[in-house]
Structure 1
Amino acid sequence: MASIIFLDSPVSSGFSYARDPKGCDDVGDYSSSLQVQRFLNKWFTDHPQYLSNPFYIGGDSYAGKVVPLIAQYVSEGELTKGS
């Protein structure tokens, strides 16, 4: 059994959207990886039962640029700080 989150990033790509248009203003490698970090913090806050599961990050194409940034945030414990 596995639990998978598919996330379109940055905001406004694929099926992702922002309720506030300002969410689409600053879209670069660092800002989009921070958006993912904020999303994961909120998601794990709402679903803490998944924190104990193994966590893997993957991506394709250009995600090879931002996945290492996201992985760095996770490895530094940023998911548990609630930022």
Structure 2
Amino acid sequence: MPPPGNRNDCKAWEESGAKAAVGNTMTIADGGYPCTGLVMAPQAPQWRGVTHLEAGAQQSHKQVRARVEHVFARMKTAQRS
């Protein structure tokens, strides 16, 4: 259950009990969770640009996250019904 009110993603991650529930399992996240130990898509410095390896990793990360976000949307729709 998400915490009430407007919360920073990192703070909500810990307060909601999600961090404890996940334990040491590798978990992916978007860019809103820095310094949490979650796996985020690689970011290249703006001056260098993205290498082919980083671009492939970003694409893979985005595909998995898109599936997860679709599941969240379906869960929210089912709760309203």
Q: Same fold (TM over 0.5)?
A: no
Larger Rg: 2
TM-score normalised by L of structure 1: 0.26
Higher relative contact order (CA 8 A, sep 6+): 1
TM-score normalised by L of structure 2: 0.26
